[in-house]
Amino acid sequence: MSEILESGYKVKTLFKEEITVKDFIAEGGQGAVYKVDYRGEEKALKWYKKGSLGNNPEAFYENVKNNVLKGSPSEEFLWPLDITEWTDGTFGYVMDLRPSGYAEITQFMLTHVRFSSYRAIIDAALHIVSAFRALHNAGYSYQDLNDGNFFINWQNGKVLICDNDNVAPDGTETGIIGKPRYMAPEIVLGKNKPDSLSDRFSMSIILYILFCLNHPLEGKRYLVAGLTPELQEKLYGSEPLFMMDPENDSNGPHPVVHKNSIVVWQCLPDYIKKIFLDSFSKKACEKPSSRPKEIDWIKALTRFRSEIVPCTCGNEIFTKENEPCKCDSCGKVINIAFKLELSEYSIPAVKDSRIYRCQLGVCDEKDALSPVARVLEKRDAPGVLGIKNMSENRWDAVTSKGMAKKVASGDVVPLKNGIRFTVFDETVMIKSNN
């Protein structure tokens, strides 16, 4: 490969800092990553191979430099913090080091690492969607979204997004078209260049992989003996077909090879199935503007999160309409004592249930994941539940006996049948299931 940077190697940056290389971390297709000393702190340096700067190295450099100057759109991005000067025909950029406890999506795909729970998967999905919402909202597109870009914490679902060197103002041609298997059909076919709408398609592929550990377009057709470039173009470009398409099973799941999809899909709630079906429908493949938006994903995922109830055995149960259900691990019957009725659906009110801003009527997208309420257990009385006002606004509540009360930020309302409160012009009703 290219010359490896020696420990002790020094290079100057845009902000007139001097970087000192400390250790080699890893090598990838485009170059290598080193641990470096930068302003007295340990940071990571991505250093490019000369041959991987694309067709227009100067424009590529300028784009990374602009990203450094503009700053990160949200905390999920391992954003370029500084860029080196041109050195011997190439350059690098500085970013934060990846903390421990995170693994690449690829490691999850190979089951070298597994999520600790479905809630952690949903939280990872929410972090991904919300990061791309912020990125797109800031006028950028990612352009090269694939399984190598994400580091995920398998315990809590926190996400770090790397490789932000191709992020560019939406509509800019960077020369990069993306990684095979993750490009949107219009990019595969050369009909368009990557933009925020093709990002949405690639993001849906990642989300399906997180839940089902299969690629959504790689059903039976993928199993052809020799996958030539022409067949790949059909599979991902001209004839894409979702493996779970209910009307056409010619690319359906193979009973052995795609067992993951078969077992997970049947347990997913209808609204999650629907958003995947909408993401990979013929219409979504052909008409990029019809793809589900980030806010649609956030709404579906927060609802899904609300409906998962932990069993005492540690298993997670996907509840449906608050009906009693049986844990399929220990067999225990779970009764959901209370539910919270929102305007469009109701969610179980169990310990740690949450209501997010986007579950209450129309909201500004940037506030979608702001916490509004959370169910807590009384510290000195296990089993007694209350709902805490996590928002900054005061709630107008009405007790079960019809008395008006105010609930200040941080206050807790006991879970009792008939109590209702109004937040952001939406009414939430506490109802007993018994």
Least separation in angstroms between residue 261's CB and another protein is 10
337 binds another protein, rule: CB under 8 A: no
**Residue 424 to residue 346: CA distance in whole angstroms:** 17
224 binds another protein, rule: CB under 8 A: yes
User: Do the Cβ atoms of 104 and 117 come closer than 8 Å?
Assistant: no
Residues facing residue 316 across a β-bridge: 310
Which residue in 189, 267, 313, 330 binds another protein (CB under 8 A)?
267
329 binds another protein, rule: CB under 8 A: yes
324 binds another protein, rule: CB under 8 A: no
257 binds another protein, rule: CB under 8 A: yes
Q: Give the residue with the Cβ less far from another protein, 329 or 335.
A: 329
180 binds another protein, rule: CB under 8 A: yes
What angle do helix axes 118-137 and 294-307 make, rounded to 10 degrees?
A: 160
Q: Which residues contact 247 (CB under 8 A, 6 or more apart)?
A: none
Q: With CB under 8 A as the contact rule, which of the stretches 39-47, 76-84, 292-300, 315-323 interacts with another protein?
A: 315-323
Which residue in 9, 22, 70, 148 binds another protein (CB under 8 A)?
148
288 binds another protein, rule: CB under 8 A: no
Which residue in 102, 318, 345, 424 binds another protein (CB under 8 A)?
318
**Residue 352 to residue 354: CA distance in whole angstroms:** 6
DSSP assignment of 240-263? ---TT-SS--TTPPPTTTTHHHHH
User: Do the Cβ atoms of 310 and 377 come closer than 8 Å?
Assistant: no
412 binds another protein, rule: CB under 8 A: no
Q: With CB under 8 A as the contact rule, which of the stretches 47-55, 64-72, 387-395, 407-415 interacts with another protein?
A: 47-55
Q: Give the residue with the Cβ less far from another protein, 203 or 363.
A: 203
What amino acid occupies position 189? L
Which residue in 115, 276, 338, 395 binds another protein (CB under 8 A)?
115
What amino acid occupies position 288? P
Residues facing residue 386 across a β-bridge: 376, 414
Least separation in angstroms between residue 215's CB and another protein is 7
Least separation in angstroms between residue 347's CB and another protein is 17
**Residue 244 to residue 272: CA distance in whole angstroms:** 12
Least separation in angstroms between residue 272's CB and another protein is 12
Q: Give the residue with the Cβ less far from another protein, 261 or 391.
A: 261
User: Do the Cβ atoms of 35 and 22 come closer than 8 Å?
Assistant: yes
147 binds another protein, rule: CB under 8 A: yes
What 3-state class would DSSP assign to 58?
helix
What 3-state class would DSSP assign to 258?
coil
Q: Which residues contact 355 (CB under 8 A, 6 or more apart)?
A: 306, 340, 342, 347, 371, 372, 373, 374, 428
Which residue in 69, 189, 263, 313 binds another protein (CB under 8 A)?
263
256 binds another protein, rule: CB under 8 A: yes
156 binds another protein, rule: CB under 8 A: no
Q: Which residues contact 358 (CB under 8 A, 6 or more apart)?
A: 295, 298, 299, 302, 367, 368, 369
Q: How many angstroms separate the most distant Cα atoms in the chain?
A: 78
Least separation in angstroms between residue 111's CB and another protein is 5
What 3-state class would DSSP assign to 209?
helix
Q: With CB under 8 A as the contact rule, which of the stretches 70-78, 122-130, 172-180, 356-364 interacts with another protein?
A: 172-180
What 3-state class would DSSP assign to 89?
coil
1 binds another protein, rule: CB under 8 A: yes
Using CB under 8 A as the criterion, which residues of the chain lie in contact with another protein when the complex forms? 1-2, 29-30, 49-51, 54-55, 104-107, 109-111, 114-115, 117-118, 121, 144, 146-148, 166, 175-181, 190, 209, 213-215, 218, 220-231, 250, 256-260, 263-264, 267, 315-318, 328-329
